[in-house]
Amino acid sequence: MVRGAMRYSGERLLIVEDDQEMRDLLRKVLEKDGYQVSLAGDRHEAIALLAQGPFDLVVTDLLMPHDGGLELLTTIQQVYPAIPVIVTAFGDWHTYSRALELGAAAFISKPLHMAELIAAVHNALAKRSVAASP
List the chain domain ranges: 28-132
Residue 27 has a pLDDT of 97
What does the pLDDT profile of the chain (134 residues) look like in tens digits?
A: 334 444 456 899 999 999 999 999 999 999 999 999 999 999 999 999 999 989 999 999 988 877 788 899 999 999 999 999 999 988 778 888 889 999 999 999 999 999 999 999 999 999 987 776 66
Distance set, CA 69 to CA 8, 75, 80, 88, 124 (Å): 25, 10, 15, 9, 17
The closest alpha carbon to 58, from 74, 111, 115, 66, belongs to 74
| pLDDT per residue as tens digits for the range 90-107 | 877 888 888 999 999 999
Q: In CATH, what class is 28-132?
A: alpha beta
Residue type present at position 108: I
